[in-house]
């Protein structure tokens, strides 16, 4: 848990459903040569898969263990979050399990006192 001085918040950016482009879904495919066929099961991969030593299974396990992202319909998304940009230019990200949880956080008395405009 990080404590921040709310008077030092310069901006708050809300992300309800933001795609994570670090991971991509690779469809199953077959490579045929003169002597044999090679089947690949497909699955989630890093965008740097060709340069990575990680297998697709290892990358899928990494996604499952990461508590800031989730998968839906062959796409990886960041969980709902708020990004607080501080006067020191530091960015603090708070993740939520659902948009409703994010809404409850924003409706706290102390946060409603912050004067903001929406652009």
pLDDT tens digits, one per residue of 39-75: 677 777 776 655 556 677 777 888 888 889 998 888 9
Q: Which helix (H) or strand (E) holds 26?
A: strand 23-26
Give the total residue count for the chain: 119
Residue range of the domain that includes 53: 19-78
So what's the pLDDT on residue 51? 55
List, in order, residues 6 or more apart from 105 with CB less than 8 Å away: 82, 94, 96, 111
Q: Tokens in use for 112? A: 């409603």
How confident is residue 119, by pLDDT bands cut at 50, 70 and 90? confident
Both 68 and 90 in a single domain? Answer: no
So what's the pLDDT on residue 99? 94
So what's the pLDDT on residue 48? 61
Q: How many domains does the chain have?
A: 2
Mean pLDDT of 72-82: 92
pLDDT tens digits, one per residue of 3-22: 888 888 888 899 999 998 88
Provide the CA 108 distance to its chain's centre, in angstroms. Answer: 24
In angstroms, the CA 98 to CA 29 distance is: 35
Both 27 and 72 in a single domain? Answer: yes
Both 6 and 28 in a single domain? Answer: no
């Amino acid at each position: 848990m990080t404590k921040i001085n709310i008077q030092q918040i310069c901006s708050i950016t809300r992300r309800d459903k933001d795609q994570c482009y670090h991971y991509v879904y690779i469809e199953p495919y077959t490579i045929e040569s003169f002597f044999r066929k090679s089947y690949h099961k497909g699955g989630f991969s890093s965008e740097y898969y060709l340069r990575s030593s990680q297998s697709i299974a290892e990358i899928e396990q990494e996604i499952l263990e990461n508590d800031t992202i989730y998968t839906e319909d062959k796409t990886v998304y960041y969980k709902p979050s708020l990004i607080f940009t501080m006067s020191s230019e530091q960015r603090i990200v708070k993740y939520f399990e659902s948009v409703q949880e994010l809404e409850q956080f924003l409706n706290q008395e102390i946060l409603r006192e912050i004067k903001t405009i929406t652009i």
